[in-house]
Amino acid sequence: MTGSLVVVGTGPGRPELMTPATQAAIARATDLVGYGPYLDRIPAANPAQRRHASDNRVELLRARHALALAAEGRDVVVVSGGDPGVFAMAAAVFEALETGDPAWLSLDIRVEPGVTAMLAAAAAVGAPLGGDFCALSLSDNLKSWSTIERRLKAAAEADFVIALYNPASKARPHQLAHAFDVLRAAKAAETPVLFVRAAGTAEVKVVETTLADADAAVADMRTLIIIGASTTRRVGRWFYTPRSERSAA
Ligand code: SAH
């Protein structure tokens, strides 16, 4: 098989935050496959390049389609937002590979890293990820709420800084409020909570609050939430987590 498939992420939004390696992969692609709004972020490269836009909820079908195109000899780029391996298309591509035509295993498949939302959000407020941290998706499309709750409790217990992806949607408005309740049971009331909307874009908006006061209604699907560890603190306009757990407050 001669086709290729590269899975890329466009970064959080600002064109400068798309890596040159990702730009190069996109420039040489014959076919771009992805969720419509992510494809729209990519300026038209050449008129011969085909774009296959799809709905956000059909990841596995989109991944199979991309692999089938590569198997026909096309040079396909699958486009995600942020980093393609973080709650995004790269895993769907490998799942499609695992369950698909065994001949696809000989395709030239590659993943390019991108700037994930968590990194852009952290940079917008200072350095809250300076200590150990974890990332969770609150989307329960693909896992049960009891799994999410168990992981939130464990993350709170371990005193990680927590980055929450997919914090809210119209389909599940109450879950984030439940998530805050779970965290309040295990973490201090004054723990910093940072809602960062549209990180890494010109429209970035930060809401700083505490776990006691955190209001789930602040978040939407373009928001990433950072919840501090016990050492996360404010200095001037910024928030940071010291690298040493012994550094003085
Ligand atoms: N692959 C993406 C994440 C996809 S999950 C990445 O690496 O960033 C989608 C979630 O990511 C959104 O619900 C939101 O929580 C977060 N997100 C994506 N872009 C964002 C941005 N510019 N600012 C804040 N959060 C963002």
pLDDT (tens digit, 9 = 90+) per residue, 207-218? 999 999 999 999
Handedness of CA 89, 95, 97, 100 (dihedral sign): negative
If we measure between CA atoms, which residue out of 192, 175, 200, 203 comes closest to residue 226?
Answer: 192
pLDDT at residue number 231: 97
The larger pLDDT score, comparing residue 169 to residue 183, is at 183
Assess whether pLDDT exceeds 90 at residue 150: yes
44 pLDDT tier (thresholds 50, 70, 90) = confident
Assess whether pLDDT exceeds 90 at residue 172: no
If we measure between CA atoms, which residue out of 196, 190, 185 comes closest to residue 225?
Answer: 196
117 lines ligand 1 (CB under 6 A): yes
pLDDT at residue number 247: 61
59 lines ligand 1 (CB under 6 A): no
Assess whether pLDDT exceeds 70 at residue 178: yes
65 lines ligand 1 (CB under 6 A): no
10 lines ligand 1 (CB under 6 A): no
Rounded CA gap, 201 and 197, in Å? 9
116 lines ligand 1 (CB under 6 A): yes
119 lines ligand 1 (CB under 6 A): no
Assess whether pLDDT exceeds 90 at residue 29: yes
**C-alpha of residue 10 to centroid of ligand 1, in Å:** 11
pTM reported for the whole predicted model: 0.95
> What domains are there in the chain, each with its CATH number?
4-115 (3.40.1010.10), 118-248 (3.30.950.10)
* Continuous H helices in the chain: 20-28, 36-40, 59-71, 89-99, 117-125, 145-157, 175-184
81 lines ligand 1 (CB under 6 A): yes
- Once rounded to an integer, what is the mean pLDDT over residues 34-53? 87
Atom of ligand 1 nearest to the CA of 137: 5
Range of lowest pLDDT (170-179, 196-205, 224-233, 234-243): 170-179
Site to substitute for ligand 1 among 165, 166, 176, 220, most atoms within 8 A of C-beta = 165
**C-alpha of residue 11 to centroid of ligand 1, in Å:** 9
pLDDT at residue number 181: 97
